[in-house]
Every structure is written in structure tokens, then in C-alpha cells.
């Protein structure tokens, strides 16, 4: 079956690292994605990782993929108040099919 699960809330202090976790059920997923949604806006693609990779780094963002456990994480280094948003992970288990999204993790950053 297809299901993507995330914890609903994460609260951190400015300057700390944030780690947002996601689990998925479809082991045939080829790409996994992280999207960010700010209030009143659509979803913005942050990064994606191919399923044969363990890690991908892009400036303050680090994505870790544990394919055996079907676990994906997004680490944001030096978290800023502007990082406060909802973060969605998504999987695309087969080319030509719809992306399946988790329900999103609300990240709250306090100064």
C-alpha cells in the first residue's frame, strides 16, 4: 500500500538544527521529495533524493535516506525564524503516477 507518515509538530530555537522525519511504505519508490509550505502559499520544492542514494546535502539542508527502514529525514542546520512552515515529504514510487504526500510537519522556530 501507499502511505507516508510524518510527525505533526516540531518546535526548535533559532540557531539549532531541526530534524524532520518521514516514513513511507512503498519500497519501490524511486524518488523522495521534501516540500515547504508557508502560510497562504502553495508548496515549494526544497530538495529530492534518488532511492539509490543515502544522503544528499544542499547548503543548510541534509537529506538522509534509510531504504531498509523506509525512513527519510530532513535536517535543517542553523534554523532561522524564516524556516517556520509546514514541511511535507512525498514519494513517487513509479514514473507516471501521482506523488503521495505525508500530512506535513509544522516547524515552529522561536527566537
Partner 1 sequence: KAGVTQTPRYLIKTRGQQVTLSCSPISGHRSVSWYQQTPGQGLQFLFEYFSETQRNKGNFPGRFSGRQFSNSRSEMNVSTLELGDSALYLCASKDGSVTGELFFGEGSRLTVL
Task: For residue 7, list its beta bridge partners.
Answer: none
Residue number with CB closer to partner 1 (36 or 70): 36
- Residue ranges in 4-63 that form contacts with partner 1 under rule CB under 8 A: 30-31, 33, 35, 40-45, 48, 50
Query: To the nearest whole angstrom, how small is the minimum distance from the Cβ of residue 21 to partner 1?
Result: 16
Query: To the nearest whole angstrom, how small is the minimum distance from the Cβ of residue 47 to partner 1?
Result: 9
Q: Virtual CA dihedral for 95, 58, 104, 19, nearest 10 degrees?
A: 130
Query: To the nearest whole angstrom, how small is the minimum distance from the Cβ of residue 13 to partner 1?
Result: 26
Q: Are 6 and 101 in contact (CB under 8 A)?
A: no
In angstroms and rounded to an integer, the radius of gyration of the C-alpha atoms of the chain is 13
Task: Quickly count: other Cβ atoms within 10 Å of residue 90's Cβ.
Answer: 22
Q: By CB under 8 A, name the binding residues for partner 1.
A: 30-31, 33, 35, 40-45, 48, 50, 88, 92, 95-104
Amino acid at each position: 500500500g501507499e502511505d507516508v507518515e510524518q510527525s505533526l509538530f516540531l518546535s526548535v530555537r533559532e540557531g539549532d538544527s531541526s530534524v524532520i522525519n518521514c516514513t513511507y511504505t512503498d519500497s519501490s519508490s524511486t524518488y523522495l521529495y521534501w516540500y515547504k509550505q508557508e502560510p497562504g502559499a502553495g508548496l515549494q520544492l526544497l530538495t529530492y533524493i534518488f532511492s539509490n542514494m543515502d544522503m544528499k546535502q544542499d547548503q543548510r539542508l541534509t537529506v538522509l535516506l534509510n531504504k531498509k527502514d523506509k525512513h527519510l529525514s530532513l535536517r535543517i542546520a542553523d534554523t532561522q525564524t524564516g524556516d517556520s512552515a509546514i514541511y511535507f515529504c512525498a514519494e513517487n514510487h513509479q514514473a507516471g503516477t501521482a506523488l503521495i504526500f505525508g500530512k506535513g510537519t509544522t516547524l515552529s522556530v522561536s527566537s
